[in-house]
Amino acid sequence: MSVRILALVGSLRAGSHNRQLAEAAAKHAPSGVEVELFEGLADVPFYNEDIDNEADLPAAAARLREAAGSADAFLLFSPEYNGTMPAVLKNAIDWLSRPFGAGAISGKPVAVVGTAFGQYGGVWAQDEARKAAGLAGGAVLEDVKLSIPASLTRFAETHPADDTEVVQGLTEVVTRLTEQAAPAAA
């Protein structure tokens, strides 16, 4: 049995600490689990029902849906922008929520984690991402959380993949997500 987890990172910045968290999750995934970072969220246009049809569907949105369709679960990484999740992550959730009731995220396990500069590690943004993913049809693991505060100082000289506490937290999250996804992947 193999479980495929699609990681969506809500920061587009090349040196993003949330991207580094996603890289750490992929690096330390248990045997039989693949954590794939989706590349290209910056290319996905804002959701617009007028272009969500076979003739007009943007290629970037089609690639996102295809990657999501073959995933067994989702791991969302959210920084906090002005007290909420970044627009790029919300937009990805919107594209994956369609068609209504049968989107690529529908019924699949979703966990949300992240890091931010503030003292709470982006919990507001992560709560909003959980809410949006649940409304989109995802099976959100509400009790699976990892919010890492003070990202600028904590990861100034250490990649999250080399931080023992962070790796332990990510491993727990990926393990719980895998447990929920495993029956569907079998």
Residue ranges and CATH numbers for the domains of the chain are: 3-185 (3.40.50.360)
> 3-class SS at 11?
coil
List beta partners, residue 75.
7, 111
Give, for all 186 residues of the chain, the pLDDT tens digit. 699 999 999 999 989 999 999 999 999 999 999 999 999 999 999 999 999 999 999 999 999 999 999 999 999 999 999 999 999 999 999 999 999 889 999 999 999 999 999 898 999 999 999 999 999 999 999 999 999 999 999 999 999 999 999 999 999 999 999 999 977 666
DSSP code of residue 98: -
Predicted local confidence at residue 100, as pLDDT? 87
In angstroms, rounded to a whole number, what is the distance separating the alpha carbons of residues 33 and 17? 22
Query: How far separated are the first and last CA of the chain, in Å rounded?
Result: 6
- Looking at this protein, which amino acid is placed at residue 97? S
Tell me the whole-structure pTM to 2 decimals.
Answer: 0.96
- Looking at this protein, which amino acid is placed at residue 170? L
